[in-house]
Amino acid sequence: MPRSAIQQSEVAPGAELEALIGPSRLPAVGTTVFTVMSQLAAQHGAVNLGQGFPDWDCAPALKALVAEAIDAGHNQYAPMAGVPALRTRLAAMQQGLYGHTYDADREITITAGATQAIMTAILALVRPGDEVIVFEPVYDSYEPSIVLAGGTPVPVVLEAATGYRIDWAAVRARLSPRTRMIVLNFPHNPTGVTLRADDLVELEALVACHDLLLLSDEVYEHIVFDGRPHLSLARSPRLARRTLVVSSFGKTLHATGWKIGYCCAPAPLTAEFRKVHQFMVFAVNTPLQHALARYLEDPAPYLGLSAFYQAKRDRFVAGLAATRLRPLPCAGTYFVLADYAAVSDEPDRLFAERLVREHGVAAIPISAFCTKPGPERLIRFCFAKGESTLQRALDRLAHL
């Protein structure tokens, strides 16, 4: 037997595969804390306020439209860019909400969720050696997408001491000749911060002086509180010319498991986006697209979403007043940060794990969103839950 074959036979299968795989393209990525906390919650019968999705079903009328679409035979591949009726509906929504006109044929693409849209945009437009500015705390899919594209994430930290507002001087300091893109996520997960008019002015000044692209993750666009408008980058003609705006039907219509979203961008950016999209997923669920196009003829489901979730925010924040946790301001999204410094000085992950084991409530440590966690003692709760779920969690948190 040849020596190489003998050596191969003596190598454990796992080790052989590891040698074949070689260095990981994402060496820093392991099992996420989101998965860990959900598993702990299941093991300990905890109320799971870590999961970022509702615990109720989507509207019966929407499900009925899906069934009708299936029965009508809409069960084969959709057009690569998406069903025309849905793209036309989205164009009308964007015009009505933000005053920007997108061409439904050349500038709107239906995607398999917002995460796919984000990765598609980055793979299409970020080149090896490029730098991409992200804001920390940062949603966990951005940096791996940048790394896979051969780019380098450049974090700009949003400081708790300043209410997680963007420090535009810090952004300018991180710009370099290699800066290709800035990724924004507002309303912001996990802090709940929203953009202000002066943020758009600052961003306009940046793109006027630098050759930058913008990727704006606006999945919580319809969940903004206290009478504030959502300041989509599409509102600004100067910014819209450089921006890919991404959003999600799942967040808006309580159907996160459907994984269907969209990307609106100028035609040249969309052309590059679709070059990657067609080989990543090609087409998105056909009957869902037909159902969404019909369901969104009525704007009430998304126009009423802010008031719906504001009532839940107010209910949960008021309930936290009876605990030793201190909620931070929340201007949007269905998440709220809570300071646990009065309870413990443990690092946030250890505290979150103990909260599950000893008190039966799951939350997410904010360090999961940071490369270099700060000194704050903060955890994130999701209040997109039914009244009974929130009350059970509050009853348990009252014993901290």
Whether residues 256 and 309 fall in one domain: no
CA torsion, points 207, 212, 217, 223, in degrees to nearest 10?
-10
Last residue of some domain: 280, 297, 314?
297
Whether residues 162 and 253 share a domain: the answer is yes
d(CA 72, CA 323): 53
Do 329 and 270 share a structural domain? Answer: no
Same domain, yes or no: 352 and 281: no
Strand-pair category, 361-362 with 47-48: parallel
Residues 71 and 172 both lie in one domain: yes
249/59 Cα distance (integer angstroms): 13
In a domain, 15, yes or no: no
- Tell me: do 182 and 244 sit in the same domain: yes
Find the angle CA(78)-CA(80)-CA(82) to the nearest 5 degrees. 60
- Classify residue 101: in a domain, yes or no: yes
* 176 plus 64 within the same structural domain: yes
The three-class DSSP label of residue 348 is helix
- 309: domain CATH number is 3.90.1150.10
Q: What is the pLDDT at residue 379?
A: 98
Please check whether residue 13 lies inside any domain of the structure.
no
One domain for residues 218 and 259 = yes
In a domain, 20, yes or no: no
Residue 6's pLDDT is what? 43
Q: What is the pLDDT of residues 277-325, one digit of tens each?
A: 999 999 999 999 999 999 999 999 999 999 999 999 999 999 999 999 9
Q: Is residue 1 part of a domain?
A: no
CATH number at residue 223: 3.40.640.10
Closest CA to 325 of 361, 357, 367, 375: 361
Domain range enclosing 351: 31-52+303-397
272/366 same-domain check: no
pLDDT number for residue 9:
53
Q: Is 337 exposed, middle or buried (0-12, 13-18, 19+ CB in 10 A)?
A: buried
Cα–Cα distance, 373 to 89 (Å, whole number):
42
Q: Name, in order, each residue with C-beta under 8 angstroms of 190's C-beta and a sequence gap of 6 or more.
A: 137, 333, 335, 337, 364, 366, 369, 380
Helices (H) and strands (E) in the chain, counts: 17, 13
What total number of domains does the chain contain? 2
- Whether residue 328 sits in one domain with residue 292: no
* Cα(363)–Cα(352) distance, integer angstroms: 6
Where the chain has pLDDT below 70, the residues are 1-11
Last residue of one domain, picked from the residues 297, 328, 358: 297
Domain assignment present for 289: yes
Instruction: Let me know: does 343 contact 363? Beta carbons within 8 Å.
Output: no
Q: Are residues 214 and 112 in the same domain?
A: yes
292 and 161 within one domain? yes
Examine residue 111 and state whether it is found in any structural domain, yes or no.
yes
Q: What pLDDT does 92 receive? A: 98
pLDDT at 1: 46
Q: Report how far residue 193's alpha carbon sits from residue 336's, in angstroms, rounded to the nearest whole number.
A: 10
Instruction: Give the model's pLDDT for residue 374.
Output: 85
Please tell me whether residue 300 adopts helix, strand or coil conformation: helix
Residue that finishes a domain, picked among 297, 332, 365: 297
Quick check: is 7 in a domain? no
